[in-house]
Amino acid sequence: MRRPLRSLLVTSLAWLLLSCTAALAATPAPPPRATSLLVDQTNLLTTDEHEEIDSRLQAIAASGKAQVGVLIAAGTGEETLPQYALRVAEAWQLGRRGSDDGVLILVVPARNALRIEVAYGLEGVIPDALAARWIDEVFPDLAERRVAQALRGVLERIEATLPEPAPATKPRTNPLDAHPEWKLPFVLVVFSPLAIFPLFLGAWGALLSAPILAAMYGTAAWALWGTQIAAALAAAISLPLPLLWRLNGREIAISQPVLRWARAVGNLCAVVLFFLILTLFVGIGLAAAEVEQLWPAPLFALLLAIGLAAFLFPGATRPLLLALRSLLHFAFMLALSYAALSSIDADPARLAVGASVVFTVLIAIGLLLDSFEKRRRSGLVGEPAAVRNWSLWFMAAALLLMLPFAVLLLIQALLGEDLHTRIVQASAGGGSIAAIVWWAARRGFFALLVGLGGRFGGGGAGRGD
């Protein structure tokens, strides 16, 4: 038994070693490193030609139109010209991230071969047919070993075809940097809640908080508007607020109607101030982070302000919580639809808001009908009866409205950052057939083109392979 087992182990190890050796032998050599935009493994270019072509490549990259790389290779090994060009292009990662505006020109003089590999972002600008025509036009120079002349011809045609780069947008600056006179009022207003901390020390704490809060708002108004009248008015309005807030939870306020009204006014002012301060704080933060859309600031502040109102006005808790729930539905749908539409629509705000309003109304009607149907079944409204679940229809309609946005957002999350480019190219018909096939395959319409995970793939043309 030992001999057959030993023989089996030796045979298995021999096959394993042979397989590993074959696999290592079949592994293609790594592509050359991109030490510059021009790599010449053959030394066919003179020093002047090398400097001229490299300078031209650098100028194209500096213009913002695209990033073009050139490899004059000694050979491609056992790979075909398209396979080797694609592997080099993916290794060099030409083009800007998010734009995918890279082009690789591969020349193999020993095989009398030339290929132009185009990244996904430029396939609509340089389709396969156009690249093939360029190669045919410069191929006589390559056949006569005039490599520099052939490269000049290709680069001239690429430069003439590339679109002008989009004008650079002016970066958003922090509003506080643009208006330094706002810094002191901003600090005083945002940190004004610190003035009410003495309220927790007891009755005398309100007397201490009142002048501190009045001083902070008065100073902020004076710094912002520069008048004593504005400072005095802001201080006069804010001075009694801590005294009114101190009435919360006190028996004397419950027993006296005047004090109840005073407490209600103070609490209303607290909710409004809380909303304004939070909106200001979050809005300035978004602006400083160079966020284009500032609408999340008041929306977020309104959510928390309604929560504060529900705490300060116990008698109105139910309608306030209903409003808070509806606002949460609106905020959820707004964020979902806006994020989904932002990749395919330059101005998605209007459509996103409209869809969010319809979604919120459908959910609210569904909730109200559900409450009414439950009361009917329990006999609280009329006689107990079999009630149709109309609420489910409104809930289903809301979910159907949300579904396309959720699916679109999921597709974007799974497929990466080039969704907008691919949709535009496919819909405009400017992309090559390979680009549209790639677009459909990546989106799961059918399983083809396995392994195209880089910025290049499918776009380009060659001759001599």
Q: Evaluate if pTM is beyond 0.75.
A: no
| Residue 432 within a domain | no
Q: Which of 312, 330, 348 is the last residue of a domain?
A: 312
Q: Is the domain of 188 the same as that of 245?
A: yes
pLDDT for 115-134, tens place per residue?
Answer: 888 887 787 788 888 888 88
Q: How many CB atoms lie within 10 A of CB 142?
A: 23
Quick: pLDDT tens for 231-267. Answer: 999 999 999 988 888 888 666 666 778 888 888 888 8
Tell me how far the alpha carbon of residue 408 is from its chain's centroid: 13
Compute the distance between CA of residue 86 and CA of residue 451 in angstroms, rounded to an integer: 11
Which of 11-25, 57-71, 82-96, 438-452 comes out lowest in average pLDDT?
438-452
**Residue 445, domain member (yes or no):** no
DSSP string, 348-395: -HHHHHHHHHHHHHHHHHHHHHHHHHHHHHHTSSSS------HHHHHH
* Closest-CA residue to 277 (of 180, 191, 175, 213): 191
- The enclosing H or E element of 67 equals strand 67-72
Higher pLDDT, 316 or 12: 316
Give the CATH number of the domain where residue 54 resides. 3.10.310.50
Domain identity same for 182 and 303: yes
Tell me, what's the pLDDT at 460? 64
SS3 assignment, position 220:
helix
Number of domains the chain contains:
3
Of 244, 233, 250, nearest to 269 (Cα)? 244
The phi-psi region of residue 457 (left if phi > 0; otherwise alpha if psi is between -120 and 50; otherwise beta) is left
Average pLDDT over residues 8-34: 55
Domain finish residue from 271, 288, 312? 312
- Tell me, yes or no, whether 178 and 280 share the same domain: yes
Same-domain check for residues 195 and 300? yes
Tens digits of per-residue pLDDT, 165-224?
765 555 556 667 667 778 888 888 888 888 888 877 767 788 888 999 999 999 999 988
The mean pLDDT of the chain is 75
Same domain, residue pair 341 and 410: yes
Residue 239 lies in domain? 173-312
A 10 A CB-CB count for 230 gives: 16
Q: What is the pLDDT of residue 262?
A: 86
Q: Where are the beta strands (DSSP E) in 83-167?
A: 102-108, 113-119
Residue 453 in any domain: the answer is no
